[in-house]
């Protein structure tokens, strides 16, 4: 079987020892995950993690560091995921913004509370990424780069990108 992983991003947000998670419905199960999702065509990693965090939690996310890049193979479903994980802070809450379909709620849990829910974590990456963050994994934001055709972003993506200072300074 040829490995063709889904490309995803995730956000690690810690505030006062608690991590921002989402409780979401996957099939018939309710699971916990970081704000995370697929990178859309033409989208930069940073743009994707900012968008996904806003859509899933109603919080504006400001990336500060790359935590790591993780490959997870879900053998029973013959699927794999390449996950680019960033840490940062949330700067503004939009309480009236509806959350993405399938997201029941955003919540703050400490590591012990997350471990207590380990049977309901969406994947082993949830706790692994938090532990790497707690162990001090931090890499510059510009370590992970998107390569686009001819080195030029499309006008649509560039316009969206320029709206966010964390992304803008990397272009």
pLDDT tens digits in sequence order for the chain, 171 residues long: 567 888 999 999 999 999 999 999 999 999 999 999 999 988 889 999 999 999 999 999 999 999 999 998 876 777 888 999 999 999 999 999 999 999 999 999 999 999 999 999 999 999 999 999 999 999 999 888 776 655 555 556 555 555 555 555 443
- The CATH architecture annotation of domain 6-168 reads Alpha-Beta Complex (3.90)
pLDDT at 74 (0 to 100): 76
Residue 142 half-sphere exposure, CB side, CA atoms within 13 Å?
5
| Nearest-angstrom CA–CA distance, 100 and 85 | 20
Q: pTM for the complete prediction?
A: 0.84
pLDDT of residue 144: 85
User: Residue 133: enclosing H or E segment and its boundaries?
Assistant: helix 125-134
14 token code pair:
């810690």
Cα–Cα distance, 62 to 91 (Å, whole number): 7
């Amino acid at each position: 079987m040829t490995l063709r992983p889904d490309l995803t991003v995730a956000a690690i947000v810690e505030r006062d020892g608690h991590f921002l998670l989402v409780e979401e419905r996957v099939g018939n199960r309710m699971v916990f995950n970081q704000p995370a999702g697929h990178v859309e065509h033409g989208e930069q990693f940073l743009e994707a993690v900012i968008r996904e965090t806003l859509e899933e939690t109603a919080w504006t996310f400001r990336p500060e560091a790359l935590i790591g890049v993780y490959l997870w193979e879900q053998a029973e479903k013959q699927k794999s995921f390449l996950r680019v994980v960033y840490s940062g802070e949330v700067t503004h809450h939009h309480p009236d913004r509806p959350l993405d379909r399938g997201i029941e709620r955003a919540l703050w849990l400490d590591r012990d509370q997350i471990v207590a829910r380990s049977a309901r974590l969406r994947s082993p990456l949830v706790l692994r990424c938090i532990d790497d963050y707690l162990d001090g994994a931090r890499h510059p934001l510009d370590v992970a780069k998107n390569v686009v055709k001819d080195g030029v972003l499309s006008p649509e993506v560039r316009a969206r990108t320029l709206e966010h200072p964390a992304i803008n300074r990397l272009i």
